[in-house]
Structure 1
Amino acid sequence: MVVGDVTTGTDVLVIGGGPAGYSAAIRAGQLGLDVTLVEKDAYGGTCLNHGCIPSKALITATDVAHEARHAEEMGIHADPAVDLAGMVDWKDGVVDQLTSGVEKLCKANGVALMEGTATFADENSVRVSHGGEGQGSESVEFERAIVATGSRPIQIPGFDFADDPVLSSKDALSLESVPESLVIVGAGYIGMELAGVYAKLGTDVTVVEMLDEMLPAYPDDLTRPVEKRAQELGIDFHFGYSASEWQDLGDGIRVVAEPAEAAATDGGTAEAVEADTIELDTEKVLVAVGRQPVTDTLDLDAAGVETDDRGFVPTDDRGRTNVDHIHAIGDVAGEPMLAHTGMYEGETVAEVVAGEPAAIDYQAMPAVVFTDPEIATVGMTEDEVEDAGFEPLVGKFPFQASGRALTTGHADGFVKVVADEESGFLLGASVVGPEASELLGELGLAVELGATLEDVSSTIHAHPTLSESVMEAAANALDQAIHTLNR
């Protein structure tokens, strides 16, 4: 049966059911608005289905196997067998539980769910095409629309994700067997997280990066422990190279990489940049060079919504596009392209739509890279504090001085805090080391609340814990640290 030309109406139309979209829909429903959420693929979006959750599941699982295999100094001798297909099945179970939970939460908050692809007809309506033969389409009129269609992996010339040996990050999370070798194009957070996963599974991993350093968005002092650990895991790097093509060898492939012009950056080391074309024989190649917004199905022009030269939808601090009643949130609105950023934007924009006095503020927006060791940051860096006209006051505590870190066998890295010297207000913090992602919560709260160094350093932390390192870093800035030398 073909669905006829049915038209329905809603107060708020949310297009995209990822973290940004479902958060906006649920919050709008809580505020008493009539909400319709359109999703063309799977509720939970990339994060729950093909990104954040499955990658962290595999990171955890491979860490378990690797830790057991390398715990001789603790008196533990083991050689666990890894069943990647079984590991992926477990990961999929976690994903299924969370995605079904999203659907239940939406329905419980009065959100009408609609499966299909939404395309703007004009600035007040969309056409939703339902998948499957004979399913037809219908129109939805709205008072307000929130675009949350997310992003997809960027393809590079010569490397088509449709080709079997060429993997996207989504593909790399669903392999049924461990490849003997893997070339990863891109040393950003996705590439480096997956490099660690496969190196710990026993894959011979090589990373090709056009810049002269890994994780270029982060300062050298945070990335050095990660690079050191990657080298210990046997990961090879070729900085200053751009992958140009791959060739079929029959029993594998050959990735050809050319020197990237002007690959060196001010913060890098010229010695890292090599000179000649290289050929890397491998079983698979993973392309992880970034993500691009998903807007091609929306026909934004029909609604008069503008995009920038990279396809992202510019917005103001209330998530409004150039068309006031159409908002954009999450990855489609540009940096920072983080799931928790999208959730925050979704809730905030829902409140804006409901007439609440809300606005988006990124001052205490955290960022985490789940490498080994983890990197986590919040607030301003030392340079940013200085550029803002403050005199930065820095405190640092190394995990080598943490009793709890030593008992875990992971003591590389540190906690660093940055404050305004005059007032003592904590303006930013960074962590590289064990459980950095969890330690960041306390630091983010301190930045958000305007806590001072004295507030943090005088808060009694349980011993022995990793969180004591936060207290000690704040005390170090005040020349009062007990378990490390003061400045």
Structure 2
Amino acid sequence: MKEISCKLLVIGAGPGGYVCAIRAGQLGVDTVIVEFGRPGGTCLNVGCIPSKALIHAAEEFGKIAHIAGGKDPLGIKVGAPTLDLTKTIAWKDGIVSRLNSGVAGLLKKAKVKTVQGWATFRDGKTVEVETETGTQVIRAETVVIATGSAPIELPFLPFGGPVISSTEALALSEVPEKLAVVGGGYIGLELGMAFAKMGAKVTVVEALPRVLMQYDAELVRPVLKRLGELGVEVMTGAKAKGLSTKGDALLIETADRKNSKVAADRILVTVGRKPLTEGWGLEQIDLDMAGKFIRIDDQCRTSMRGIFAIGDVTGEPMLAHRAMAQGEMVAEIVAGHKRSWDKRAIPAICFTDPELVTAGLAPDETKALAGEIKIGQFPFAANGRAMTKQGEDGFVRVVARADNHLVLGIQAVGQGISELAAAFGLALEMGARLEDIAGTIHTHPTQGEGFQEAALKALGHALHI
């Protein structure tokens, strides 16, 4: 049994883990990272990156199909397109492979030792890793747990056969003729809309009163409109009950408590994700939990000295960029720097069509915190660049305190609006006031002008509406 020692051991090479290891290596910390699968974790391999690749391919195919139907006003004429999904998936896999190699190269450049295998705690300073060549024992002064999360499996709809998770959805060899999506959150709608554009008949089954419940109704309205245009049937207040005997339909209970069936070749279950806290010897160490997540403080320290936890295993929001920021912070703390988690906002994006972006507080949250508020909202129907992209549906909204105009929340829905997330996050981190955004010259013609106009609207003098 081989043994190695290090100053820092990172368990999990997802976005949080590999960033933590790279930054620690840059700071001269003797670092080892353990990963069972390929570097990059869920986000790079079966999540963020491959899903966006598939969404892009679906968008391109959908545009051509729309033009071929003779409904486009641009004067472009094409024949009916066909899609070779196998080739699309191969292109997606190529992107993932290049990024895998990139992460591995960055770890090597930072002089981080990578151990391939499954890690299990012996105690708070020691883990065993089952590798292809035997058991590797690693002793470390400090350990970072970055084990991530996995799709939640419903007991009455276990994964297998026609029932798939997002992982299998991103590796299909052909587009399902009929796709049932269980769960109307961001993962279900992102993939459901993509497959609808590729030609599938999609039905979304959501137990709650509406889809995308984490967003306010006004923000979601343009997405609902687009779902209708794509022919996606949305069933709210409907509960999935199981798989039909023949395996060709989803059994549901509708809002009026009647039993029904949704015919489906594939059933995509997207009801959330769970932290990976089992299988790596949690019972051997004494960590306080916050429900099903590992409890951490503002430096990502757990209740056990010398053990940190970052990313999805520590709770919501389960976002790759949150994990990355936590990982960088922890690496600097381990290297002796003074750091703590004092982020004002973690922007979140839903890559539906149109896209949704939120940063900071929603209007109701801002009102509860600050009392009187000012809201400025500017529609893309009045934005020249949005018109030239045929993306008039949507808006930008800025929410600020009424007394000092400090901006506490920004929301937007629109075509390609995800690229404004950085501007929204920066404004909140810098403590911008309405006057700061309104007084910043925004390039014309861009959708970003909607951000400035929303601030002007909140101040009472929008220029283009």
Q: TM-score, normalised by structure 1?
A: 0.92
> 1:140 and 1:365, CA in 2 relative to 1: closer, same or farther beyond 3 A?
same
Name 2:267's counterpart in structure 1.
Answer: 285
Match of 1:144 among 138, 142, 147: 142
SS of equivalent to 2:400: strand
Output one character per residue of 1:82-104: Cα deviation in whole Å (capped at 9) or x when no partner: 11111101000110011110000
Output one character per residue of 1:225-274: Cα deviation in whole Å (capped at 9) or x when no partner: 1111111100111111221111243xx61210125xxxxxxxxxxxxx44
User: 2:451 aligned with 1:470, yes or no?
Assistant: yes
Kept in 1, the 8 Å contact 2:343–2:429? The answer is: no
Q: How does 1:82-481 map to 2 (within 5 A)?
A: 82-131=83-132, 135-161=133-159, 163-249=160-246, 253-259=248-254, 273-310=255-292, 312-481=293-462
User: 2:54 aligned with 1:58, yes or no?
Assistant: yes
Q: Please state how far the C-alpha of 1:275 moved relative to its aligned partner.
A: 2.9
SS of equivalent to 1:184: strand
SS of equivalent to 1:155: coil
Counterpart AA for 1:202? G
Name 1:75's counterpart in structure 2.
Answer: 75
Counterpart AA for 1:124? K
Quote the Cα distance in structure 1 between the aligned partners of 2:457 and 2:434.
Answer: 9
Q: Please state how far the C-alpha of 1:105 moved relative to its aligned partner.
A: 0.3
Kept in 2, the 8 Å contact 1:238–1:274? The answer is: no
Name 2:17's counterpart in structure 1.
Answer: 21
Output one character per residue of 1:195-214: Cα deviation in whole Å (capped at 9) or x when no partner: 11100001000011111110
Q: Please state how far the C-alpha of 1:300 moved relative to its aligned partner.
A: 1.3
Q: Please state how far the C-alpha of 1:287 moved relative to its aligned partner.
A: 0.5
Output one character per residue of 1:410-433: Cα deviation in whole Å (capped at 9) or x when no partner: 110100001122222221100001
Kindly report the root-mean-square deviation, in angstroms, between the aligned alpha carbons of the 2 structures.
Answer: 1.2
Output one character per residue of 1:91-133: Cα deviation in whole Å (capped at 9) or x when no partner: 00110011110000011011111101110001111111114xx
Q: Please state how far the C-alpha of 1:390 moved relative to its aligned partner.
A: 4.4
Counterpart AA for 1:34? D
Quote the Cα distance in structure 2 between the aligned partners of 1:395 and 1:228.
Answer: 23
Kept in 1, the 8 Å contact 2:370–2:401? The answer is: no
Give structure 1 stretches of 5+ with no counterpart: 260-272
Kept in 2, the 8 Å contact 1:209–1:240? The answer is: yes
Quote the Cα distance in structure 1 between the aligned partners of 2:342 and 2:222.
Answer: 31
Output one character per residue of 1:409-456: Cα deviation in whole Å (capped at 9) or x when no partner: 111010000112222222110000112211121121111101121111
Quote the Cα distance in structure 2 between the aligned partners of 1:149 and 1:237.
Answer: 34
Quote the Cα distance in structure 1 between the aligned partners of 2:172 and 2:306.
Answer: 43
Q: TM-score, normalised by structure 2?
A: 0.97
Counterpart AA for 1:77? K
Q: Please state how far the C-alpha of 1:158 moved relative to its aligned partner.
A: 2.1
Counterpart AA for 2:219? L
Q: Please state how far the C-alpha of 1:152 moved relative to its aligned partner.
A: 0.5
- Equivalent residue pairs, number: 460
Counterpart AA for 2:253? E
Counterpart AA for 1:89? A
SS of equivalent to 2:73: helix
Kept in 2, the 8 Å contact 1:18–1:46? The answer is: yes
Quote the Cα distance in structure 2 between the aligned partners of 1:49 and 1:461.
Answer: 36
Q: Please state how far the C-alpha of 1:460 moved relative to its aligned partner.
A: 1.3
Kept in 2, the 8 Å contact 1:68–1:76? The answer is: no
Output one character per residue of 1:52-71: Cα deviation in whole Å (capped at 9) or x when no partner: 00000011111011112224
Quote the Cα distance in structure 1 between the aligned partners of 2:98 and 2:183.
Answer: 31
Quote the Cα distance in structure 2 between the aligned partners of 1:238 and 1:275.
Answer: 13
Quote the Cα distance in structure 1 between the aligned partners of 2:125 and 2:320.
Answer: 28
Name 1:262's counterpart in structure 2.
Answer: none
SS of equivalent to 1:74: coil
Q: Please state how far the C-alpha of 1:74 moved relative to its aligned partner.
A: 1.3
Q: Please state how far the C-alpha of 1:361 moved relative to its aligned partner.
A: 2.8
Kept in 2, the 8 Å contact 1:68–1:77? The answer is: no
Q: Please state how far the C-alpha of 1:176 moved relative to its aligned partner.
A: 0.6
Counterpart AA for 1:293? P
Percent sequence identity is 45
Quote the Cα distance in structure 2 between the aligned partners of 1:321 and 1:147.
Answer: 10
SS of equivalent to 1:206: strand
Quote the Cα distance in structure 2 between the aligned partners of 1:81 and 1:105.
Answer: 39
Quote the Cα distance in structure 2 between the aligned partners of 1:274 and 1:11.
Answer: 60
